[in-house]
C-alpha cells in the first residue's frame, strides 16, 4: 500500500481504526424514516382547535418493529382520545393545556430499540385582559397607554394595533409609536388633538395541523382615554422608554431590534453594533429609526447592538445582545459496528450547531456516566471492557435550546480468531523521509495482538517511536529511509488462534513541494500570479492541477502554464469575486493503491478601498455643532477601520478633518463648527487598502456669534531703547474663527501693582501695535481678546508680563524635536537660547492642527523638554517654542510636525558607559518604560567631541534585536557622547545621551596643570605633571576665558621631558584659559585640567584707585597743608609760652632742644609711622606677590631695588596708610610718641625684617614694582 502520512493522517487512522467494523450487508438497528415534528411558535396549537392532532413516527429495519411513546420521559397513557396508530400518536378533539410538553417515539426490533428526536407540543394560551387606565398628559410632554398583554401569554402576539371609537387604526408616525414587544402606545410628545379614547387589539396566529394552514384570532382590550391638558412644556429630556431586548434568532432568519425614545424636541435615534459595522446590505432602519431590521442573519452578526437617542441634551443609550442560533446538524453519525470482546470502544458522535449537548441511549434507556460508560462533551461514548451484554442498539441525541436530532446504530460484540480484512500488498511503496503505512488489516475477538518481522527479524515495537501499530493491525513506519526496504511479515494472534501474511516494501522518493502558493491580498483589478513547483520519484507518474474553494479553476481570466510539475496560475483583471482558497494539487499514482494527493493552499483576497458611505444626513443643527449620520458602503473584502468626517469651509478648496477617528461601529457623530461659516460636509471610510471616495455632501450655514477661540500666536515684548513702550504682535484670527463681521482686537493692560483694575484699548483689525506712554522701568500685565459685531470673545490670552525698557530674548530655541510617545502625548525637546542680551525666564510651547491663529499655548519654566498631553488622535500637529523673560516674548523657533497616530518608544530608562579595559567601551541601558509595541532594535550613536562639546565626528550602529548592551573595541583617546535611540514598528523614539572621557589607545592626559608665579603683561609660566611620558611631546592650548570657541595651539610640540614652559605673545590685562595635551604616535590624549590666568595691565593703562587720583592727592595735600599751618601756629604759640616760662626757669630755648634731638637721631634711618587703626579697611593696590617666591631677610638683594625711585618722595607719599612728609623731607609724624615706634616694629615684622636693610634704604614706590626686565617684584611697606 503506497500511503504517505502526515501526523494528522496518522491521527485519522487511529480514529478510523477505533471504529473498525465487520462488513455488514444491512442495517440492523431500527432506523426512523419519519420523525415527529415540533408544534410551537407560529405552529403552536390553539386551545380553540378541536380537530385533533397526530404526531407521526415511522422506522424501518429487519424483523417486526413495535412502537411506544413517552411524554416528558414518562410513558404516554393510551385511551379513547389518545391512541397509537402504526407508530403515530393521535389526539382526538381539543388539545388540553396540560398536554403541552416534549414527546419521543421509540422503535424496537430483535436487535434493540432506537429513539426518535424530541418533539415539542405547545398549546397557545391567549388570555383576555379587561384592564384600563386613563392618562392625562401635558402638551409637548410624553406619555403612553398600556396594552396590558399578560406576561403568561405564550407565544407572544403576531400583530398589535390600536383603534379609536370610529374603529380607525392609529397609524405610527414620528410622534406616535407602538411597541412590537409590549404593545404599549407611546406619545413621543403629545399634541392637543391626541385627546381621544383608544383600545389595544392583539392578533395571534392559529395553526391547523389537519389542513396544514395557519389562521389568526384577535383579542380586543378595554377602552382607555388619553387627555392632553395643562401648561405646555418647552422641552423634555430624552428618555428611552423601551430599549432593545436580548434575542436568540435562527441563522438565516430576520430580527427586529426596537428602541422607543420620548422627549421634546423629537429625539434622533442612532444604531450601531458594538465593536464592528452593521452588516452591509442586510439592514435597514424602520419606523423613523426606532427599529433596526437585519435580514438573512449570519453567524458573525451575533453581538451587542446599541441605540442612542438625542435631542440636544445629554444623549441616552441602551444595549441588547443578539445571539445567532444554529440548529444541530450531523458531522459524524453513528452506524452499526462490530467490536472485539474484552476491548475498550470509543464511539464517536458529533454535531455542529450552537451549544450542542449530547445524550446517549441504550435500547431506549438513557446511558448514565459511570465506571462502565463515559459520555464526553464532544459527543463520544466510551464503553470499557466490552462484553456480550453490551450488544444493543445505541442512539446519540444532539440538542440545543431550539432543536434536536438523533442517530442510532447496533453494536455487535465479536468473539472469533483473527481474520484478515486486507492482506499486505505484494509490493508496498514507502516514501523517503515521510511516514508510510504497511497494510495488514485484521480483526477478531479478543482484539488480535500484532507482531511484525522485517527480513525475518522481529521489529522492536515497544521501545522505539520508529514504528506504531494501529488498532486495525496496520504498521506505521516513520522517517522512511532506504534501510526500511525489505520483506515484512505480520502475525495476528488472540486466544482463539493466529494468522500471518507477508509483503515486500520498496522505498521511493517522496513527492515534495519546492515552491508553494502563499496567502496574499491584491487590489482589484490588479493581476496576480501563483507559483507551484514539486519534485517526485522518477518511477512514479504524477499530475499537477489548481482548484479554488475545492473546484477546478475554469475562469476564462485565469491562465495556467504547466511544465512537468512546475505550474503558474495567473489571473488578470481581478475582481472581488476572485477571492478564495487557491490550492495547488499534486496527484501521484501509486501502484495497486491509486492516486495519492498532496495539496498546498493559499488564501487569496482581492480587495479595494471601501465604497463611500451613503445616506448622509444631518440633524440637531446649531450655530456651533451638528450631528451627522450615514450608512457604510461595501468594505470590498478589507475590514473597515474607521470613518472620517471632512469639511470645506467658505469654499476654501482644502478639505479638513472634523473627526478623523470615528469608530467603525458608529454610524453617526456630533461635530463642532464655528459660527458665520458655510460648510460642505462629507464622510469617508477607511480600510486596510486606503480611504474611500467622499460621500455625497451636505451643506450647512451657521449663524453669527461672538468669537469662541482665543488668540494663539501673540507676543508681548519690551523695547530696549524705549522704556515707555511695549510692542504687541499677533496673528489675526482666520475667517473661519471670526464668528461674525466686524472683527477686531481689544487690549487689556495694567501695572502689576495696580489696584485700579485693567485699562482697555481697541486695536482694530491689525496684527501689530506699539503701546506707548507707559511708566518707565515698570512691570505691566497684558491680555488680548478678539471681538466682533456680536460682542467680545469668550477667551482672553493668558496674562503676559513685560518690564518696560528691557528687551526680550533676541534668539529663538534651536534643534526643536517632537516625539509621539502615546496616541495623545508628544514629548518636545529643544536647545535653550544662548542670547547674551537676556536670560530666559521660561518657554512657551505652541501647537496647532490647521490654524496657528488659534494655537494652544503651554507655559513652562526654564526647561528644555516637556510633554504635551490630551492631543487629538490621528492629527497632524505643528509645534514651535519661544523663550520669554523680563522683557517679554522672544522670537519663535523653527516648526516641527508630529502625527498622533503611531507612537514611538519613550527614551531608555538609563544609560551607562564604562571602560572596563583600556580602549573598550561597554554601554548598558534599560528598556523604555513605555515601548508602544515590541522594540525592533536600538540605534547606538557615538560622537567624538572636543573639550568645548563640539561634535567632530559621528558614528552610527544598531543592536541586533532588543538587546540592551553594546560594546566598542579599540577606541582612541577622546571625549565621546553616546546616544541610544529605541525603535519599534512605528519608528525611532526619544533618544537618551551620556558622555564620558575615554582613555582609549592614546597617551595619558597630563595632570595637575598650574600657574607658576604671576603673569606679566604678555607671558604666563605654567607647569604640569604626567602619569606616563608621551612619545612625541606636549602642546599647550588656550582661549579667552569668556570664549566658547575651541582651544587653539599656542605652542609648538614641546619635548616629552618638558614639564614647565613660558607662554608668550599674550595680550595685557586679559584673562585666558589654558590646558595641555600629550601626543604619542600622532594620537592625542584627553586635555589636562584647565586653569585660568590673567596678564598684567600696562603701567600707563593702570586704573588707579580714587585715593591715587591727582584730584584726591591735591585735596589731601591742601587739607594737610592747612593742618600743618595750624600745627605750626600752635607750636609757635606753645614755644613762645614755654620760652617765656623757660627764661625764668633756666630751660633751654626751644630751638636748642630741637637741635639736640636732631643730633641724637642723626644716624637713625627714617622709618615712617604706621597708618591709623582704620586704615586696615582701605584697599591697597599693589602688584601681586609671586606665586611661588617668598622674600625674607636672607634672600633680599639691594640690586633688586629701583634706586631712582628712592628720592621720589611725592610718589612715596601717595601710598595710603603711610606718614606724610614736610616740605624739607622730614616726616610729619617724626616727633610722635613712643607708641608709634612700637607699632612700626610690629608692622615691619609682617612685611620685611628692617634690620637687613641698609640704613639709607626706603620702600620701593609703585612705579618701581616692575623692573626693566619685566620681572615680578613685591612692594614692601
Residues 73-125: tens digit of each pLDDT: 899 999 989 999 999 999 988 888 788 889 999 999 999 999 999 999 988 76
* Domain membership flag for residue 730: yes
Q: Output the CA–CA distances (angstroms, integers) from residue 850 to 658, 681, 787, 845, 876, in the order listed.
A: 11, 17, 22, 16, 8
293 lies in the same domain as 400: no
- The confidence score (pLDDT) of residue 12 equals 36
Q: What is the pLDDT of residue 26?
A: 60
Please say which residue of 580, 607, 634 terminates a domain.
607
Sort strands 416-422 and 441-445 into parallel, antiparallel or unpaired: antiparallel
What is the total count of domains within the chain?
11
Helix H, strand E, coil C: the string for 270-304 is EEEECCECCCCCCEEEECCCCEEEECCCCHHHCEE
Q: Do residues 1088 and 1118 both lie within one domain?
A: no
CB distance 144 to 188 below 8 Å: no
Instruction: Give the CATH number, domain containing residue 1019.
Output: 2.60.40.10
Are 441 and 357 within one domain?
no
pLDDT of residue 1252: 35
Q: Both 1195 and 1250 in a single domain?
A: yes
Q: Is residue 513 part of a domain?
A: no
Backbone angles phi, psi at 845, to 5 degrees: -105, 120
SS3 annotation, 867-884: EECCCCCCCEEEEEEEEE
Chain-centroid distance of CA 185 in Å reads 49
Classify residue 84: in a domain, yes or no: yes
My answer on whether 17 and 58 are in the same domain is: no
Residues 834 and 720 in one domain: yes
* DSSP 8-state assignment for residue 685: E
Whether residues 332 and 320 share a domain: the answer is no
Phi, psi of 638 (to 5 degrees): -135, 120
Quick one: pLDDT at residue 124?
78
pLDDT of 954: 77
Last residue of a domain, one of 561, 590, 607: 607
Residue 1038 CB neighbour total at 10 angstroms? 21
Distance CA 947, CA 1045 (A): 10
Cβ–Cβ under 8 Å, residues 866 and 858: yes
Q: Is residue 315 part of a domain?
A: yes
Considering the domain architecture, whether residues 749 and 864 belong to the same structural domain is answered as yes
Residue 707 lies in a domain: no
Residue 1276: count other Cβ atoms within 10 Å of its Cβ: 17
Tell me: do 1077 and 1142 sit in the same domain: no
- 507 alpha carbon, distance to own chain's centre: 57
843 and 960 housed in the same domain: no
**pLDDT at residue 1277, rounded to an integer:** 25
Residues in the chain with pLDDT values less than 50: 1-25, 1143-1277
3-class DSSP state for residue 154?
strand
CA 431 to each of CA 437, 467, 475: distance values in angstroms, whole numbers, following the listed order: 10, 15, 14
What confidence score (pLDDT) does residue 1266 get?
A: 31
The pLDDT, as a whole number, for residue 1178 is 37
- Whose grid coordinates read 525475518? 456
Helix orientation angle between 1150-1160 and 1110-1145, rounded to the nearest 10 degrees: 120
Looking at the domain assignment, is residue 461 inside a domain? yes
Range of the domain at 547: 519-607
For residue 417, give the C-alpha cell: 480468531
CA dist 828 and 848 (Å) reads 14
Say whether both 272 and 344 belong to one domain.
Answer: no
The string of pLDDT tens digits covering residues 1043-1098 is 877 788 998 999 999 999 999 999 999 999 999 999 988 788 889 999 999 999 98
pLDDT of residue 43: 83
442 and 455 both lie in a single domain: yes
Let me know the angle formed at the C-alpha of 1067 by 1062 and 1069, rounded to the nearest 5 degrees. Answer: 105
Q: Are 567 and 583 in contact (CB under 8 A)?
A: no
**Domain ends where: 899, 931, 965?**
899
690 belongs to a structural domain:
yes
Q: What are phi and psi of 948, to 5 degrees?
A: -90, -5
Can you give 5-72 as a three-state secondary structure string? Answer: ECHHHHHHHHHHHHCCCCCCCCCCCCEEEECCCCECHHHCEECCCCCCEEECCEEECCCCCEEEEEEC
Q: Is residue 45 part of a domain?
A: yes
Phi then psi for residue 574, to 5 deg, are -60, 150
- Under DSSP, is residue 724 helix (H, G, I), strand (E, B) or coil? strand
Rounded Cα gap, residues 335 and 410, in angstroms: 7
Nearest to 974 by CA among 1087, 1050, 1082, 1076: 1087
Amino acid at each position: 500500500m503506497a500511503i504517505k502520512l502526515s501526523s494528522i493522517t496518522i491521527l485519522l487512522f487511529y480514529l478510523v481504526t477505533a471504529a473498525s467494523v465487520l462488513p455488514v450487508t444491512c442495517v440492523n438497528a431500527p432506523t426512523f424514516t419519519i420523525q415527529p415534528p415540533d408544534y410551537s411558535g407560529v405552529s403552536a396549537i390553539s386551545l380553540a382547535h378541536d380537530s385533533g392532532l397526530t404526531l407521526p413516527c415511522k422506522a424501518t429495519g429487519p424483523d417486526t418493529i413495535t412502537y411506544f411513546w413517552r411524554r416528558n420521559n414518562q410513558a404516554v397513557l393510551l385511551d379513547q382520545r389518545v391512541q397509537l396508530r402504526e407508530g403515530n400518536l393521535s389526539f382526538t378533539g381539543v388539545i388540553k393545556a396540560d398536554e403541552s410538553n416534549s414527546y419521543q417515539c421509540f422503535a424496537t426490533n430483535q436487535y434493540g430499540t432506537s429513539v426518535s428526536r424530541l418533539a415539542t407540543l405547545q398549546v397557545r394560551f391567549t388570555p383576555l385582559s379587561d384592564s384600563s387606565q386613563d392618562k392625562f398628559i401635558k402638551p409637548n410632554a410624553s406619555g403612553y397607554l398600556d396594552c396590558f398583554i399578560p406576561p403568561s401569554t405564550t407565544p407572544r402576539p403576531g400583530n398589535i394595533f390600536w383603534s379609536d371609537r370610529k374603529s380607525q387604526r392609529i397609524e405610527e408616525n414620528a410622534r406616535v409609536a407602538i411597541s412590537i414587544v409590549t404593545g404599549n402606545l407611546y406619545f413621543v410628545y403629545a399634541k392637543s388633538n391626541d385627546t381621544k379614547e383608544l383600545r389595544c387589539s392583539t392578533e395571534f396566529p392559529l395553526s391547523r395541523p389537519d389542513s396544514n394552514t395557519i389562521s389568526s384570532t384577535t383579542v380586543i382590550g378595554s377602552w382607555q382615554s388619553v387627555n392632553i391638558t395643562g401648561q405646555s412644556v418647552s422641552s423634555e429630556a430624552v428618555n428611552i422608554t423601551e430599549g432593545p431586548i436580548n434575542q436568540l434568532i435562527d441563522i438565516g432568519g430576520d430580527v427586529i431590534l426596537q428602541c422607543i425614545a420620548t422627549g421634546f424636541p423629537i429625539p434622533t435615534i442612532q444604531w450601531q453594533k458594538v465593536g464592528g459595522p452593521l452588516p452591509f446590505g442586510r439592514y435597514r432602519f424602520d419606523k423613523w429609526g426606532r427599529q433596526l431590521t437585519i435580514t438573512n442573519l449570519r453567524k458573525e452578526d451575533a453581538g451587542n447592538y446599541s441605540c442612542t437617542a438625542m435631542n440636544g441634551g445629554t444623549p441616552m443609550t441602551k444595549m441588547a445582545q443578539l445571539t445567532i442560533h444554529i440548529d444541530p446538524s450531523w458531522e459524524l453519525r453513528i452506524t452499526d459496528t462490530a467490536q472485539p470482546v474484552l476491548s475498550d470502544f470509543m464511539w464517536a458522535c458529533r454535531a455542529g450547531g450552537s451549544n450542542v449537548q449530547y445524550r446517549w441511549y441504550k435500547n431506549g434507556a438513557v446511558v448514565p456516566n459511570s465506571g462502565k460508560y463515559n459520555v464526553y462533551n464532544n459527543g463520544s461514548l466510551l464503553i470499557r471492557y466490552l462484553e456480550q451484554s453490551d450488544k444493543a442498539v445505541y442512539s446519540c441525541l444532539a440538542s440545543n435550546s431550539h432543536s434536536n436530532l438523533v442517530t442510532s446504530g447496533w453494536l455487535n460484540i465479536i468473539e472469533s480468531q483473527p481474520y484478515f480484512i486486507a492482506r499486505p500488498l505484494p509490493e508496498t511503496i514507502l516514501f523517503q523521509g515521510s511516514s508510510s503505512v504497511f497494510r495488514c488489516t485484521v480483526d477478531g475477538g479478543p482484539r488480535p495482538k500484532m507482531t511484525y518481522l522485517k527480513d525475518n527479524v522481529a521489529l522492536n515495537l515497544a521501545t522505539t517511536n520508529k514504528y506504531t501499530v494501529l488498532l486495525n493491525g496496520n504498521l506505521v513506519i516513520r522517517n522512511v529511509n532506504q534501510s526500511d526496504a525489505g520483506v515484512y511479515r505480520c502475525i495476528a494472534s488472540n486466544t482463539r488462534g493466529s494468522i500471518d501474511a507477508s509483503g515486500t516494501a520498496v522505498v521511493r522518493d517522496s513527492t515534495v513541494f519546492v515552491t508553494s502558493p502563499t496567502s496574499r491580498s491584491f487590489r482589484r483589478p490588479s493581476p496576480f500570479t501563483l507559483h507551484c513547483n514539486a519534485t517526485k520519484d522518477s518511477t512514479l507518474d504524477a499530475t499537477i492541477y489548481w482548484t479554488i474553494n475545492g473546484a477546478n479553476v475554469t475562469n476564462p481570466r485565469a491562465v495556467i502554464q504547466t511544465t512537468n510539475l512546475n505550474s503558474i496560475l495567473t489571473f488578470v483583471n481581478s475582481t472581488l469575486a476572485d477571492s478564495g482558497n487557491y490550492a495547488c494539487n499534486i496527484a501521484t499514482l501509486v501502484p495497486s493503491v491509486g492516486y495519492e494527493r498532496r495539496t498546498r493552499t493559499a488564501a487569496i483576497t482581492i480587495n479595494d478601498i471601501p465604497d463611500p458611505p451613503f445616506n448622509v444626513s444631518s440633524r440637531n443643527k446649531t450655530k456651533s455643532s451638528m450631528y451627522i449620520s450615514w450608512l457604510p458602503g461595501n468594505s470590498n473584502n478589507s475590514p473597515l477601520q474607521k470613518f472620517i468626517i471632512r469639511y470645506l469651509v467658505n469654499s476654501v478648496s482644502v478639505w479638513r478633518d472634523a473627526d478623523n477617528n470615528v469608530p467603525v461601529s458608529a454610524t453617526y457623530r456630533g461635530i463642532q463648527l464655528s459660527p458665520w461659516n458655510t460648510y460642505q460636509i462629507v464622510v469617508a471610510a477607511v480600510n486596510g487598502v486606503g480611504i474611500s471616495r467622499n460621500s455625497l455632501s451636505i451643506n450647512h450655514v451657521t449663524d453669527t456669534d461672538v468669537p469662541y477661540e482665543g488668540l494663539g500666536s501673540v507676543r508681548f515684548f519690551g523695547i530696549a531703547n524705549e522704556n515707555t513702550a511695549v510692542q504687541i504682535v499677533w496673528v489675526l484670527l482666520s475667517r473661519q474663527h471670526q464668528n461674525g463681521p466686524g472683527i477686531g482686537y481689544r487690549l487689556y493692560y495694567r501695572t502689576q501693582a495696580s489696584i485700579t483694575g485693567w485699562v482697555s484699548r481697541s486695536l482694530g483689525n491689525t496684527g501689530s501695535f506699539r503701546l506707548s506712554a507707559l511708566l518707565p522701568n515698570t512691570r505691566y500685565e497684558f491680555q488680548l481678546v478678539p471681538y466682533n459685531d456680536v460682542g467680545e470673545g469668550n477667551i482672553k490670552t493668558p496674562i503676559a508680563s513685560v518690564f518696560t525698557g528691557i528687551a526680550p530674548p533676541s534668539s529663538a530655541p534651536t534643534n526643536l524635536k517632537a516625539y509621539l510617545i502615546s496616541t495623545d502625548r508628544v514629548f518636545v525637546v529643544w536647545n535653550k537660547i544662548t542670547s547674551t542680551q537676556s536670560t530666559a525666564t521660561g518657554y512657551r510651547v505652541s501647537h496647532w492642527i490647521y490654524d496657528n491663529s488659534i494655537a494652544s499655548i503651554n507655559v513652562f519654566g526654564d526647561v528644555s523638554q516637556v510633554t504635551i498631553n490630551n492631543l487629538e488622535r490621528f492629527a497632524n500637529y505643528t509645534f514651535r517654542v519661544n523663550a520669554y523673560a523680563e522683557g517679554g516674548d522672544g522670537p519663535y523657533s523653527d516648526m516641527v510636525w508630529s502625527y498622533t497616530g503611531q507612537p514611538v518608544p519613550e527614551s531608555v530608562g538609563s544609560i551607562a558607559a564604562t571602560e572596563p579595559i583600556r580602549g573598550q567601551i561597554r554601554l548598558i541601558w534599560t528598556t523604555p518604560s513605555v515601548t508602544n509595541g515590541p522594540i525592533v532594535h536600538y540605534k547606538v550613536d557615538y560622537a567624538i567631541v572636543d573639550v568645548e562639546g563640539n561634535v567632530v565626528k559621528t558614528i552610527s550602529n544598531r543592536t541586533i534585536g532588543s538587546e540592551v548592551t553594546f560594546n566598542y573595541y579599540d577606541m582612541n583617546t577622546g571625549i565621546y557622547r553616546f546616544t541610544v535611540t529605541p525603535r519599534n514598528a512605528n519608528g525611532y523614539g526619544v533618544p537618551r545621551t551620556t558622555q564620558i572621557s575615554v582613555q582609549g589607545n592614546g597617551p595619558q592626559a597630563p595632570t595637575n596643570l598650574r600657574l607658576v608665579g604671576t603673569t606679566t603683561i604678555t607671558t604666563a609660566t605654567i607647569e604640569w605633571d604626567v602619569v606616563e611620558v608621551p612619545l612625541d611631546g606636549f602642546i599647550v592650548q588656550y582661549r579667552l576665558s569668556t570664549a566658547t570657541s575651541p582651544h587653539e595651539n599656542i605652542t609648538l610640540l614641546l619635548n616629552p621631558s618638558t614639564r614647565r614652559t613660558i607662554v608668550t605673545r599674550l595680550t595685557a590685562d586679559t584673562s585666558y584659559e589654558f590646558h595641555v595635551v600629550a601626543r604619542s604616535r600622532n594620537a592625542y590624549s584627553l586635555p589636562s585640567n584647565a586653569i585660568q590666568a590673567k596678564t598684567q595691565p600696562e603701567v600707563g593703562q593702570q586704573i588707579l584707585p580714587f585715593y591715587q587720583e591727582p584730584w584726591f592727592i591735591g585735596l589731601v595735600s591742601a587739607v594737610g597743608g592747612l593742618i600743618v599751618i595750624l600745627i605750626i601756629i600752635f607750636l609757635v604759640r606753645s614755644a613762645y609760652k614755654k620760652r617765656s616760662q623757660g627764661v625764668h626757669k633756666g630751660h633751654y630755648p626751644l630751638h636748642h632742644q630741637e637741635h639736640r634731638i636732631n643730633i641724637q637721631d642723626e644716624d637713625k634711618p627714617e622709618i615712617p609711622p604706621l597708618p591709623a587703626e582704620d586704615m586696615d579697611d582701605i584697599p591697597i593696590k599693589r602688584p601681586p606677590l609671586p606665586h611661588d617666591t617668598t622674600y625674607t631677610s636672607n634672600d633680599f638683594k639691594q640690586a633688586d631695588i629701583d634706586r631712582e625711585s628712592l628720592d621720589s618722595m611725592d610718589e612715596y607719599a601717595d601710598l595710603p596708610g603711610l606718614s606724610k612728609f614736610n616740605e624739607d623731607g622730614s616726616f610729619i609724624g617724626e616727633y610722635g610718641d613712643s607708641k608709634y615706634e612700637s607699632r612700626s616694629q610690629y608692622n615691619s615684622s609682617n612685611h620685611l625684617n628692617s634690620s637687613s636693610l641698609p640704613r639709607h634704604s626706603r620702600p620701593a614706590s609703585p612705579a618701581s614694582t616692575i623692573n626693566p626686565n619685566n620681572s615680578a617684584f613685591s612692594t614692601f611697606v
